[in-house]
Structure 1
Amino acid sequence: MTFLATCVIPLFIKFYHLMIAFKKLILLLLLLTSAGAYAQQADTTVVFKVFGECGQCKHRIETAVKGKGVTSANWDVASKQLTLTYLPQQVNLTTIQDKIIAAGHDLENRKASDNAYNALPSCCHYRESTDAAADTPEHRAMGDTPSADSAATKTAQLKEVTVSSRTHSAYISGLNPIRTEIMTDKELLKAACCNLSESFETNPSVDVSYNDAVTGSKQIQLLGLSGNYTQLTVENLPGPRGLATPLGLNSIAGPWVESIQLTKGTGSVVNGYESIAGQINVELRKPETTDQLSANVYGNSNGKVDLNLDLAHKLNGKWSTALLLHDDFLENKGLDMNKDGFRDLPTGNQFNLVDRWKYDDGKGFMTQFGVKVLNDDKTGGQTGYRPATDKFSTNLYGLGIHTQRYEVFGKIGYVFPQQTYKSIGLQLSAIDHQQDSYFGLTTYNAQQQNFYSNLIYQSIINNTKHKFKTGASFLYDKYDETFKRDHYKRNEIVAGAFFEYTYTPSDKVTVVAGIRGDHHNLFGTFFTPRLNVRYEPFPGTTLRVSGGRGQRTANIFAENMSVFVSNRQVEILGASSGYAYGLKPEVAWNKGLSIDQKFRLFDNDASASVDFFRNDFTNQVVTDLENPRLVRFYNLDGKSYSNSLQVGLQVSPVKKLDIHLAYRYFDVKTTYSGHLLERPLLSSNRAFAAFDYATDGWKFDYTINYNGRKRIPSTAGNPAPYQLTDYSNAFVMMNAQVSKTFGKKRPMDFYVGVENIGNYFQRGAIVAADQPFSPYFDASLVCGPVTGRMAYVGWRYKI
């Protein structure tokens, strides 16, 4: 892997600049060529409805109309509208529509023959449409998760009757045996969503909280467990993990996100063995479907500015490309709402980009590849801190975090043309992540190099009732960490294979049973069984049960970087040679049960849900903060479990008004030094309410979150002025946003919002803020927001 770091990744970075120049040249040539052609002949653009179901339908429809005289065709999965531009001098509209009918797709006034329709794959049978998201062979061969937009609006045509229904912007997929909540881009627009961490502000299942009161980093919590127990992927490739865990949510720009798939409990063995609490998969904007230009400008009252520019272009019928750019900066060095002398948020600049390319030959072969670059600089600490004069001194307390991350990725897929149920795909990624940081007088520098590959083959056994996926994966992680004067180096090499069988005897029952075996160079061979069952006893009622095993390696420094913003001494207890930090891997068994019910209320669609999940750890790396002078890491000796119960209701009491209500209860306990205690800094009770109203281009969104009290680790060993109460106060967070859309052909959005309307923030969040170099200083015991009321404005534009 040294070759990867010294040769391959730098080479990709150099080629990146060449690709940009090459792309500009191609765009210029295309513009010149198009100008010459259009100067001779005038084209005509028409829009009409074509019935279909998914991404594969989109590909088939757009391919069918290709030919002489057709200059462009774009079919929208959600609206079913085909935007067609053609030259009447060369081809007539009836001839083009004949091709669509022959391909098996109905028009509003014409129907395809039954033979042509029945020849379509089952996932494309739009006449029997349900609320399930598309699951096309093309997606599966590439290892992708289908876009949520494919299920945003469903239309079923049966004989002469057309039935339409509107799906919520966030919903539970009805046919997926693995309980998956899909958040569409419409859901993400309900808040500013500058980055991924803010994308969950309107979701009751995921908690997002500050790691500490100085670094500005945030973490997610799912099923009562911290974010490192949730497998985070980007288009089913490894996302921020390992060293990127504490700051990774901030590194994915919100405007890049097309949809988010949230899975509680055990997921598929195809995606690996690391998922314990669940999986969050993020789908970015695709070159072939996203807008040609999308811009977003955001600014808030704290002084933070975000700039986003996304560009996409179809080079020809087979090639498409997209460039996603993000830049944000905060220069307000005096932001100190609680008047403790420390900046509430670090200042600095983050720049990142994604440059991606896709090739589709229209005959079953597809490939996509690209590069991601991140450069992030943060400076925090006391308001008067200046690195040039105060760094590594006791004049003033300061911190600095500099992160550079380079990633290359690729996917190759092939769908057998005559057997669309059969496909093969290969996923590849390589990452180099470097972080140099200091916290007062403590240094932490680390580098992670990662290589990942996953080969997936899928087919059927006799018929489509019996499907299977099988394949092999390879994971390589090289870690090199320096904490103060101690060095921690390790290589993790994991080779694995998996098999997953799906049995669908009827539309009411689906069983997915999977197992994978992996050999880890440090932990030996282990097996990961998982089971998911879906049963629909009555129309609109869906029951699911799940169970399975998860395993992961704890990165104790990166995942607990908030502890660095304190003067606690670090102890690793019971360490054994040959393991990561001398500690065993974390292993847990997850069990889950859920019921989702759809019904009619107030003459509109409504839904209710109940889910319960339990995690039992057979081993866990315990982070013990019960001594205010120490942070101890050791293997679990006793019980550790989490129980999560959530109930939810979605209703529309009047047209265009959506209300989402939810309540969630956690019972999470771990054995700390022989005592079974409630997990600290976690709210056992949370209530959620969201109100969304839209009319005539206006959108009004209002969200309320109630967070119950949280247990605070013991500070009894501190002097009285630096002692905290055993429990924090409960608090309520309220956010609101109003947006207005102008224009139809080229829409432009203006939005304004307020976060934390009640202006609640944790006072005294930093223990001994007046003595940052004393042994009592601790900024890691954060129970609530560290900043108060914040207003923002923004502008979006699309072409």
Structure 2
Amino acid sequence: MKTQTYFRYIFSFVLVLLFAGKSLAQTADTTVSITVQGLCVMCKDRIEKAAKGKGVSFAEWSAETKLLKLTFNPKSTTLDKIENRIVAVGHDIGEKKANNAVYEDLPACCHYRDGSGEALMNGSSNGPLIQGVVLEENDKGAFKPLQGASVQWLGTTQGTVTNEQGVFSLHQHSGADQIVISYTGFKSDTIAINPQEAVMVVMAKNGTLQEVKVTARQRSLYISTTNAFRTQVMTEKELYKAACCNLSESFETNPSVDVSFTDAVTGSKQIQLLGLSGNYTQLTVENLPGPRGLATPMGLNYIPGTWVESIQLTKGAGSVANGFESIAGRINVEMKKPETAEKLYANVYVNSMGKTDINLNLAQKVGKQWSTELLLHDAFLYNNMDFNKDMYRDLPTGNLFTALNRWKYEGTNGWMTQFGAKVLTDRKVGGDMNFKANPHRGSTHMYGLGFNTDRYEGFAKIGYVFPEKKYQSIGLQLSGFDHKQDSYFGTTTYNAKQQNFYANLIYQSIINNTNHKFRTGLSYVHDKYHETLNAQHFQRTEAVPGAFFEYTYEYLTKFSVVAGIRADHNSLFGWFATPRVHLRYQPFSNTTVRLSVGRGQRTANIIAENTAVLVSARQFEILGTQNGKAYGLNPEVAWNKGISIDQKFKLFSRDASLGIDFFRNDFTQQVVVDMEDPRKTSFYNLDGKSYSNSFQTELNFSPLYKFDVRLAYRLFDVKSTYDGKLLEKPLLSRHRAFANLAYEKNGWKFDFTINYNSSKRIPSTASNPSALVQPTQSPDYVLMNAQISKTLSGKKPLEIYLGGENLGNYFQQNAIVDPMNPFGSYFDASLIWGPITGRMIYAGFRFKIK
């Protein structure tokens, strides 16, 4: 009996297990993630609602990753059925494509296929980048990020959504200065935005928006984590950290770029990137050719700082769409736009040397679709300064005036046009403190130099976005200039003229979807040069037609590749190809790794790019052997390779970043500028090795609120073959350490920058008389700059500033070799390794009417 009872119990228990197992099998859920195409918060709601049908217990879609996380019961439904429901409402999943009619009925910001929705979400790349965070307050008064909140410019369809950290970023829409923040279950609110500051918005417990608190600020200098090109953006806020009278002074707070005088008399400045002179850095203005060719030595002075909205700095090879000349990198200057600039912006700057800059910007909207802008700049110095008491003016005196007028038309039918014209005149005289152009010019009674430059520029951009296929667009860029320069250096005369025309036709579209994009086009560059150096005449015409193709692939936010190639035909040098590849990989959300490799080619303008050697008794020797080429020399060709790692993290409970990059340039062809013989400067084709290695690490953090610290260290290893000997590049610091401190408090801004520069190799002067022999190495030195500014609040803000450069009053003694005999055999003002002016104090104000 007991045995039967036991069997009965066992049998019952087995039945229970069987039924329970069957029940468990029926209710066991499966969790998967699938990629669903979409863009905005409306896409998120639509996708999740379509997914949440029978058998689905959880569905969450991310606009940032495009991933939909699903939990469903496979006995109640199938993944195929869920996908079909999502596709039916207009969202593609892999090979499953939504019906075209359904897709077209989606709101404009949801159009993920053609790129138009993405354009609305991201806005114009020309507008300032606005950043902020949206948080939710819980019952305990703590804050947590709110993912998926909608952020949209008021009165437009342009917007974005917050990511998993509650963070959003979008470019400012033309004419808009307010954003609308909304989230399901909370009351929407409209907020005024300052492009220079990011906002923190707290969603309150009762479903309303609390008062907006400005607790985070847009960094004045940042690197995009989503761009395959490692582009460092310097905003207007960064430029305000220094006086920034012109482009040459815009990099004082940037550790990547060196700015130094080329000689002790002309006042010319040059930039250096990756250890190479500015000749190897492509300078563009809104993606059009900037000062180049004859304008190279003075070109940085030709772009006033008050005209600049932002600067984009890219190390290494750039995009093939922008040409073939980028070797060390590319600097693109974005000017202030007529549709977003202040109605009036006035700036006056005066320094202790007597140099004065007066700037006036005027902008006006003309109707609904037109806007115009007039930019005026006048810089003058009439005070003779001689810091080192060598009886030579440290800077030439005279006046530089430039004006720019531009117009922009934004149509409603896909057309956009902008055009403008610029005029510049530069009149300078330098040299001996008592020199006057009349009667001393051309005589050996007194040494002097002078520049008379006239430059006229014009540009136009015409763009069209196809209304039915907004992922397709076509644009035409046109520009041209006429540059004439008459100059003299003692008894040496250099007169030159350059006429340039540039055209670039760009067509861009997608391949199947926005993960595969391309742009292709045709370009044409035409330069006509006529130079006279004393009795020598150099004339050439370079016509370079070309074509390019660039493909971009993006996989979610983790990986992207940009591969481009262009083919060009130079009328002097024949056909050549320019391949370039850029890779970006994010193994983790806060880690970005980039690799790049590319070829660059340029024609050296050996006289204009080396006018510093004209301020000396050196003979100008050109060892070119091939007729029909520029000066008989080959073009310069180099391969650039680079790797960088950018890491974001928290330090002192605030955002911080660490960047490390290494770039190497290898020249296969180069025009060597050989100054190793103090009696001459020789120019000849490279015969041997020439390379540059550049390593840099940069740390940005904020130990206190509104207190930003930037620390950097850079190492250069740059060598070239001079007359069969591999030597270190002269007048270049191997080591540089940098620190910038910036603090804001109640409208006050304090900025301090310190630079350490290690010793530099000085070209040999051993064959000079013993009294005129220079050391072979310069000393190390430190430079310090500081500025204090105060913004007076109001509808018409006024900012006043006071600053100083070279506060330690360090300058190069004996900057000129044999200054008492300027017409002798040993006179040389080109061996400059440090500052030529001492401490300088400046003051000014900025006044704006928006």
The TM-score with structure 2 as length reference comes to 0.78
User: Unaligned stretches of 5+ in structure 2?
Assistant: 1-108, 133-148, 176-193
Describe the superposition over 1:233-278 as per-residue Cα deviations: whole angstroms up to 9, x where unpaired: 0000000000000000011000110000000001100000000000
Alignment of 1:482 onto 2:532: yes
Structure 2 residue 318 is the aligned partner of structure 1 residue 267: yes
Aligned residue in 2 for 1:599? 649
Distance in structure 1 (CA, Å) of the matches to 2:607 and 2:152: 59
**Counterparts of 1:572 and 1:427, CA distance in 2:** 36
Q: 1:759 aligns with which of 809, 818, 822?
A: 809
- What is the match of residue 270 of structure 2? 219
Match of 2:160, as an amino acid?
Answer: H
Paired position in structure 2 for 1:208: 259
Alignment of 1:484-633 (within 5 A): 484-633=534-683
Tell me if the contact between 1:56 and 1:136 (Cα under 8 Å) persists in the aligned partners.
Answer: no
In the TM superposition, what is the alpha-carbon distance from 1:127 to its structure 2 partner?
3.5
> What corresponds to 1:649 in structure 2?
699
Q: How does 1:311-390 map to 2 (within 5 A)?
A: 311-333=362-384, 335-390=385-440
Q: Is the 8 A contact 2:320 2:564 kept in 1?
A: yes
C-alpha separation between the residues in 1 aligned to 2:400 and 2:118? 36
Equivalent position amino acid for 2:474 in 1: I
Q: State the shift of 1:107 in Å.
A: 6.8
Write the mapping of 1:235-254 to structure 2, written as runs, cut at 5 A.
Answer: 235-254=286-305
Q: Distance in 1 between matches of 2:626 and 2:646?
A: 46
Determine if contact 2:376/2:404 at 8 Å carries over to the other structure: yes
DSSP 3-state at the match of 1:653: strand
Give the match's secondary structure for 1:690.
Answer: strand
Look up the match of 1:233: 284
Deviation of 1:680 (Å):
0.2
Tell me which residue corresponds to 2:242.
191
**How does the TM-score come out when normalised to structure 1?**
0.83
What is the match of residue 451 of structure 1? 501
CA shift for structure 1 position 387: 1.1
Q: Distance in 2 between matches of 1:56 and 1:746?
A: 37
Is the 1:58–1:76 contact (alpha carbons within 8 Å) kept by the matching residues of 2? no
Aligned-partner residue type, residue 176 of structure 1:
N
Secondary structure (helix, strand or coil) at the match of 1:125 reads strand
TM alignment of 1:8-23, pairs within 5 A = none
User: Does the Cα contact within 8 Å between 1:132 and 1:175 map onto a contact in 2?
Assistant: no
Calculate percent identity across the aligned residue pairs: 61
Cα 1:608–1:294 change in 2 (3 A) is: same
Please tell me the residue identity of whatever aligns with 1:448.
Answer: Q
Per the TM alignment, residue 167 of structure 1 is displaced from its structure 2 partner at its CA by: 2.9
Distance in 2 separating the partners of 1:464 and 1:685: 44
Per the TM alignment, residue 529 of structure 1 is displaced from its structure 2 partner at its CA by 0.2
Report deviation, 1:429.
0.4
Q: Could you say which residue in structure 2 is the equivalent of 1:153? A: 198
Quickly say closer, same or farther: Cα 1:425–1:405, change in 2 above 3 A: same
**Root-mean-square deviation (Å):** 2.8
CA contact (8 A) 1:755 1:790 kept: yes
SS at match of 1:491: strand
Q: In structure 2, what is the Cα distance between the partners aligned to 1:446 and 1:705?
A: 37
Mapped partners of 1:76, 1:713: distance in 2: 45
Q: SS of 2:250's equivalent?
A: helix
Between the two structures, name the one with larger relative contact order (CA 8 Å, sep ≥ 6).
1
Q: Does the 8 Å CA contact 1:131/1:154 hold for their aligned counterparts?
A: no
- Describe the SS at the equivalent of 1:200: coil
Superposed CA deviations along residues 641-673 of structure 1, whole A, max 9, x for unmatched, are 000000010010011100000000000000000
Residue 78 of structure 1 pairs with residue 130 of structure 2: yes
> For residues 417 and 135 of structure 1, do their structure 2 counterparts lie closer, same or farther at Cα, with a shift above 3 Å needed?
farther
Return the offset for 1:744.
Answer: 2.5
CA contact (8 A) 2:674 2:722 kept: yes
Name the amino acid aligned to 1:199.
Answer: S
Q: 1:330 to 1:684 in 2, by over 3 A?
A: same
Q: Within the alignment, does 1:256 sit opposite 2:307 as a pair?
A: yes
Instruction: Check the 8 A contact 2:130/2:172 in 1, yes or no.
Output: no
SS in 1 for 2:790: strand
Q: 1:76 to 1:477 in 2, by over 3 A?
A: closer
For the 8 Å contact 1:708–1:731, the answer to whether it is kept is yes
Distance 1:59 1:549 in 2: 31
Alpha-carbon distance in structure 2 between the residues aligned to 1:505 and 1:649: 29
AA aligned to 1:415 is V
What is residue 662 of structure 1 aligned with on the other side?
Answer: 712
Residues 401-440 of structure 1 aligned to structure 2 (within 5 Å): 401-440=451-490
Deviation at 1:135, TM superposition (A): 11
Q: For residue 143 of structure 1, what is the aligned residue in structure 2? A: none
| 1:449-475 residue CA offsets vs partner (Å, 9 max, x unmatched) | 000000001000000010000000000
**Residues 625 and 132 of structure 1: is their aligned pair in 2 closer, same or farther, counting only changes over 3 Å?**
farther
Q: Over residues 492-549 of structure 1, what are the superposed CA-to-partner deviations in whole Å (9 max), with x where a residue is unaligned?
A: 0000000000001221000000000001111000000000000000011000000000
Specify the alignment match of 1:43 in structure 2: none
Q: Which amino acid aligns with 1:288?
A: E
Q: Structure 1 CA distance, aligned partners of 2:203 and 2:696? A: 37
Q: How far did 1:76 drift? A: 8.4
| Structure 2 residue corresponding to 1:727, chosen from 774, 777, 799 | 777
Q: Secondary structure at the match of 2:243?
A: coil
Instruction: Determine the C-alpha separation between the residues in 2 that align with 1:271 and 1:135.
Output: 24
CA distance in 1, matches of 2:557, 2:119: 26
Task: Give the whole-Å Cα distance in 2 for the aligned partners of 1:328 and 1:365.
Answer: 38
CA separation of 1:193 and 1:137: change in aligned 2, threshold 3 A: closer
Higher deviation after alignment, 358-367 or 639-648: 358-367
Matched, 1:705 2:740: no
For 1:380 and 1:712, the matched residues in 2 are separated by 25
Per-residue deviation, 1:612? 0.1
Distance, in Å, in 1 between the alignment partners of 2:301 and 2:234 is 18
Alpha-carbon contact 1:214-1:342 (below 8 Å) kept: yes
Find the counterpart in structure 1 of residue 339 from structure 2. Answer: 288
Query: Match for 2:258: what amino acid?
Result: D
CA 137–472 in structure 1, closer or farther in 2 if over 3 Å, else same: farther
- Contact kept in structure 2, 1:257 and 1:285, CA below 8 Å: yes
8 A contact 1:624–1:633 mirrored in 2: yes
1:524 is aligned with what amino acid? G
Question: In the TM superposition, what is the alpha-carbon distance from 1:423 to its structure 2 partner?
Answer: 1.0
Q: How many residues align?
A: 692
Amino acid at match of 1:285: K
Partner of 2:821: 771
Q: CA deviation at 1:134?
A: 4.7
Q: Which residue of 1 aligns with 2:735?
A: 685
Change (3 A) 1:284 1:76: closer
2:820 is paired with a residue of what secondary structure? coil
Paired residue secondary structure (1:709)? coil
2:839 to 784, 789, 797: 789
- 1:636 corresponds, among 686, 693, 703, to 686
Q: What displacement does 1:57 show?
A: 10
**Cα distance between partner residues in 1 of 2:167 and 2:715:** 32
Go from structure 1 to structure 2 and tell me whether the alpha carbon gap of 1:547 and 1:728 turns closer, same or farther (over 3 Å shift): same
Residues 444 and 137 from structure 1, CA distance in 2 versus in 1: closer, same or farther, beyond 3 angstroms?
same
Q: Which has the larger radius of gyration?
A: 2
Alignment deviations for residues 651-700 of structure 1 (CA, whole Å, 9 cap, x no partner): 10011100000000000000000000000000110000000000100000
Residues 135 and 592 (structure 1), Cα distance of their counterparts in 2 relative to 1, 3 Å cut: farther
State how far apart, in whole Å, the 1-side matches of 2:170 and 2:366 are: 28
